[in-house]
Amino acid sequence: MPVPIKAEEQRIDDLQPIARLTLGSHQAMNWQPASGRMVNEQQHRAGLSFVYGSLATHGKLKGEQRLRQAEGERVLSIARQPAAEQALRQQLQQLGFRPALRQSPALPKDSAEMFELPSESAWQHFADTQLPVLRQQGWQIVMQPGFAYDLAPVEQWYAELDESPEHSWFDLQLGILVEGERISLLPVLLSVIRRNPALLSPQNLAQRADDETLRVALGRRSAVDDRPLQVLLPFGRLKPILATLGELYLRDQPAGDSLRLSRLDAARLGQLDALPFAWSGGEQLLDFARRLRDYNQQPVAAPPGLRATLRPYQLDGLSWMQALRALDVGGILGDDMGLGKTLQTLAHLLLEKQAGRLDRPSLVVMPTSLIPNWQDEAARFTPQLRVLTLHGSDRQRHFAQLAGHDLLLTTYALLPRDIEQLVAQPLHLLVLDEAQNIKNASSKAAQAAGRLVARQRLCLTGTPLENHLGELWSLFHFLMPGWLGDARSFTRSYRTPIEKHGDRDRLQHLIARIRPFLLRRRKEDVARELPPKTEIVHWVDLNPAQRDLYETVRLAMDRKVREEIDRKGLARSQIVILEALLKLRQVCCDLRLVKADGARVARSGHSAKLDSLMQMLDELLAEGRRVLLFSQFTSMLALIEDELRQRGIPYVIITGDVRDRRTPVRQFQNGEVPLFLISLKAGGTGLNLTAADTVIHYDPWWNPAAENQATDRAYRIGQDKPVFVYKLITRGSVEEKIQQLQTRKAELASGVLDSGGTDDWRLQQSDIDALLAPLPD
């Protein structure tokens, strides 16, 4: 037998190792002591080995170690470099890796030194930011099949908009470029949401930092090496996408590459426009979204000639209405009561007139009680507008003159009766004031309003939602028919989940959808723009029965006063004058305060002012207001109590008959009741009611100082909220005359109406004539 030749050994002592990092994952069920149950967890391992030429080794050296490798007729003897290996090991540990103390099927046993990271977020951070650096430094990276963080880089984000020819809808596609291939994100995200809805809920998203990432499988394999493609998506980009595309988890959406949306949904593209997408198509839609989003970036100036100074938030509202008009869409101005919705709308109309766009009339529909308010504010702030009031039995004679006016005023009660005449007149702007009056979409007023033809529709209401979401749907059905679907689909998609199941996610989706078309400001939101105390006169028209009795009493008292003055002179006739004014004031408050004809009362109602008060209270209490209601007449407070009990509205009361004043004050201050009835004499002084933010004077108190004392029960030291003071005044009556005299002649109110009187007032005959003048026609 031939003697074998001994291979020649070649020693290599200076070959530096190359780090090889093998990465793997394993799905496992493990016991979780904190929850006391088995949970499905992923285990990840990083195996570190050192490559010398074509040989790989791992583990720390035990004495001198050399690696041997046959190469032809020689054997290579390679010395390991412990210092270099330790440096590579330490580099890995500096990235947060620690030796794994437990074995895992994620990598083969004894195939490498096993390391792990403390959390999924740490693994994600490593794969996203640290792993590319190791590659650049020459590390060999080996990913086992199924490694959870085998991620492909996202080369680009893109968005495509394809608008329908008639501009009624558009298709939206959002996607990423991976390995040179365009991949739509919509079906990918929809798949993630359906597997784990809570992961991408609005509440969860709000807690995620923008630089956090989500690992997503793309559902396809790499064209390079056939591995499953996964990417990391930053939450900073996912948040606006998912907020915009709420429909993805509101309804069954086909898993196509694009999403079909209504043109009005383009309003929400403004959130996406700020992201670094490569956009293509839909230039008009993007412009629509930007202008609606940025309406206050270039604020509109108040129109020249407007006889009012608009506060900043009112200028903001004017800019918003102008933006809606330019985009041919409607909206809801949902400001709290007292923030000037009427003034903002009049300023909008005046701008339209000055721009030459008011080439056809505009129409405002309102409750009957608001007709005098609109007439008064239009005459006061925008006298340039030609106003026509369609009210009363003789309104038909004006129908042929509609086109010759800028602003038409009518009521919800009359609109269905006059609809055939009004629908024949094209309108520029159609406004529904106190728009909650059409909260029932099947009502005659709502159906008639829907028939009117206008370039723009607006709703004004402090309570766009009083009882249920169906009322909100009704308003938008008037503004943008079909945009929120039909009533049945809206109930299925929103009302049932939100109202019956408390689904906050769907509520947030609904809010996000309507937000561009709803401008809602509460008093607290704009408090910095308001004075500490704002006084508002709320005008009321007497009803027919009150007008009849008022004239009867006025004629009788006018004769009695003049006879008394003729006998005793003006200065000594104070008692008779007060008696006359008292009776007329009682008629203005409620017919039941005086002896009236029962049949007439039953036919026309007891009090237009009481009806108006109840409407105000419905709105104010729905806004969460805390209300003090003052009246000089305890008998009037008793009538108000009857109405409140019938409506189930909780309240407390203080009059001269109430001995325990502490209990009602405590109940009101603690928030147990929202409404406090107070007689002026009993509660005009000595009460601290800083929980209140609203004061209503049901009947005007003739001495302004006494009236202010009552108001100051709320507006005093310790009050940290703006206080709004409403004065209910019947138009054309003695109440309005006293209101005018208070401004023009403060001595009159103090002298005539204070029971003690003073010596320095002088009531002129012209004042008597004004106070006892007949009601205007």
Residue 582: per-residue pLDDT: 86
Residue 34: per-residue pLDDT: 66
C-alpha to C-alpha distance for 174 and 257, rounded to whole angstroms: 8
Strand partners, 172: 161, 259
For residue 96, is pLDDT > 60?
yes
Mean pLDDT of 187-215: 73
Residue 46: per-residue pLDDT: 93
C-alpha to C-alpha distance for 103 and 131, rounded to whole angstroms: 23
In the chain, pLDDT over 90 holds for what percent of residues? Answer: 20
Asked if 321 contacts 458 with a C-beta cutoff of 8 angstroms, the reply is yes
In the chain, pLDDT over 70 holds for what percent of residues? Answer: 75
Instruction: Label residue 751 by pLDDT band (50, 70, 90).
Output: very low
Mapping DSSP to helix (H, G, I), strand (E, B) and coil, where does residue 182 land? strand
Residue 748: per-residue pLDDT: 34
**The most confident of 69-78, 167-176, 679-688, by mean pLDDT:** 69-78
CB atoms within 10 A of CB 209: 9
**The most confident of 109-118, 594-603, 653-662, by mean pLDDT:** 109-118
Residue 640: per-residue pLDDT: 94
C-alpha to C-alpha distance for 350 and 296, rounded to whole angstroms: 19
pLDDT in tens, 246-281: 554 444 455 566 666 666 666 666 566 656 666 666
Mean pLDDT of 205-220: 74
DSSP one-letter code for 146: T
For residue 388, is pLDDT > 70?
yes
pLDDT in tens, 712-729: 666 554 556 778 889 999
pLDDT in tens, 278-324: 666 656 666 666 666 665 566 788 999 998 888 888 998 898 898 88
C-alpha to C-alpha distance for 478 and 745, rounded to whole angstroms: 48
Q: Assign 3-class secondary structure to 398-447.
A: HHHHHHHCCEEEEECCCHHHHHHHHHCCCEEEEEEECHHHHCCCCCHHHH
Asked if 188 contacts 241 with a C-beta cutoff of 8 angstroms, the reply is no
For residue 334, is pLDDT > 80?
yes
Least confident of 62-76, 86-100, 408-422, 732-746: 732-746
Laid out side by side, the sheet with 533-540 consists of: 533-540, 723-730, 694-697, 627-631, 675-679, 652-654
Residue 270: per-residue pLDDT: 59
Residue 755: per-residue pLDDT: 31
**Contact partners, residue 593, CB within 8 Å, separation at least 6:** 586, 587, 633, 635, 636, 639
For residue 391, is pLDDT > 50?
yes
Residue 712: per-residue pLDDT: 67
**The most confident of 127-141, 269-283, 551-565, 686-700, by mean pLDDT:** 127-141
Candidates 534, 617, 614, 574; CA nearest to 753 is 574
Mean pLDDT of 598-619: 75
pLDDT greater at residue 363 or residue 514: 363
Residue 67: per-residue pLDDT: 86
Residue 51: per-residue pLDDT: 93
Domains recognised in the chain with CATH numbers = 8-143 (no CATH), 156-293 (no CATH), 312-529 (3.40.50.10810), 538-771 (3.40.50.300)
C-alpha to C-alpha distance for 717 and 175, rounded to whole angstroms: 59
pLDDT greater at residue 133 or residue 212: 133
